[in-house]
């Protein structure tokens, strides 16, 4: 029995010529292929991804475009396949040509869908107000433009850990470990681990080093004093100003990020390629 048409949502929500030219070429390619159905395409306006039914979401751009797509999907995460038109692209792994070359596998649903940790970040205001955001990479508190250090008190599951005097503090998922946390000296975690990384930014005490702990914990950052300009930043895209007495809580989200991978594109091969590590990983027979 033949497979039903593969239902696709295309996200090319970037008006730059680079993205729009790539979408024009991809659209011509897909229109000439059988066995697929383009449910919707976002080119100039966002889609309500919470109501659309599809088998796969194709995101054109870089990792930032994928982060945006995750937030748009909210509690109804669909598998995402990224076509890299950005720079490093740890999540958007395929080039446009590789997407076309591997399209028979994609259409035949010969994909590995790996679920990755996401988090909920709740900003607790001193006056009792709160707001919660879904994230994939990291939540970070920054001294930002204040040019002053922050004192950030960390609790894990209600137990006091320490107070960091630093330019900022990052709580990162394994997927986000190759983003801001890595640039701040944090470790690279395998993407499918269930853990968070706590990475201080320029800590005043040199003995403060990155810490890895379980994804099932609740991480609370308290800020008794906050210099003007300090910010909470989620995935580099959601920004909220911080005030003295505010607190931030990070916990595992109920949903997961579903990353679709074409066979043969491994995580360590991506690290070798993107980070410029010497050579390429070799098989035992290679």
Catalytic residue positions? 63
DSSP symbol at 63: H
* Token representation of residue 206: 């040199």
Nearest to 133 by CA among 61, 224, 70: 70
Contact between residue 254 and residue 75 where contact means Cβ atoms under 8 Å apart: yes
DSSP symbol at 94: B
* Token representation of residue 61: 């751009």
Nearest to 224 by CA among 278, 155, 133: 155
Q: How far is CA 279 from the centre of its chain?
A: 27
Contact between residue 192 and residue 215 where contact means Cβ atoms under 8 Å apart: no
Contact between residue 144 and residue 166 where contact means Cβ atoms under 8 Å apart: no
d(CA 183, CA 186): 7
d(CA 138, CA 136): 6
Q: How far is CA 276 from the centre of its chain?
A: 21
């Amino acid at each position: 029995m033949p497979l039903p048409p593969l239902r696709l949502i295309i996200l090319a929500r970037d008006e730059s010529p680079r993205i729009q030219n790539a979408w024009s070429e991809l659209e011509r390619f897909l229109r000439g292929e059988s066995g697929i159905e383009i449910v919707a395409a976002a080119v100039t306006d966002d889609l309500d991804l919470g109501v659309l039914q599809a088998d796969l979401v194709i995101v054109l751009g870089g990792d930032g475009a994928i982060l945006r797509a995750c937030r748009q999907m909210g509690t109804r995460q669909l598998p995402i396949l990224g076509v890299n038109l950005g720079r490093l692209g740890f999540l958007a792994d395929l080039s446009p040509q590789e997407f076309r070359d591997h399209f028979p596998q994609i259409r035949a649903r010969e994909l590995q869908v790996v679920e990755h940790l996401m988090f909920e970040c709740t900003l607790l205001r001193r006056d009792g107000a709160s707001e919660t955001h879904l994230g994939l990479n990291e939540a970070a508190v920054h001294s930002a433009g204040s040019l002053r250090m922050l004192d950030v008190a960390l609790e894990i599951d209600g137990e006091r850990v320490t107070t960091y005097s630093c330019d900022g503090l990052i709580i990162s998922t394994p997927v986000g470990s190759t983003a801001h946390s890595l640039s701040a000296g944090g470790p690279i975690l395998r993407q499918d681990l269930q853990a968070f990384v706590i990475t201080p930014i320029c800590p005043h005490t040199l003995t403060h080093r990155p810490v890895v702990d379980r994804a099932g914990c609740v991480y609370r950052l308290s800020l008794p004093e906050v210099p003007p300009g300090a910010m909470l930043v989620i995935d580099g895209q959601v920004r909220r100003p911080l005030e003295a007495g505010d607190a931030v809580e990070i916990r595992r989200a109920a949903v997961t990020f579903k990353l679709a991978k074409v066979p043969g594109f491994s995580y360590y091969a991506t690290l070798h390629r993107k980070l410029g590590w010497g050579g390429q990983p070799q098989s035992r027979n290679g």
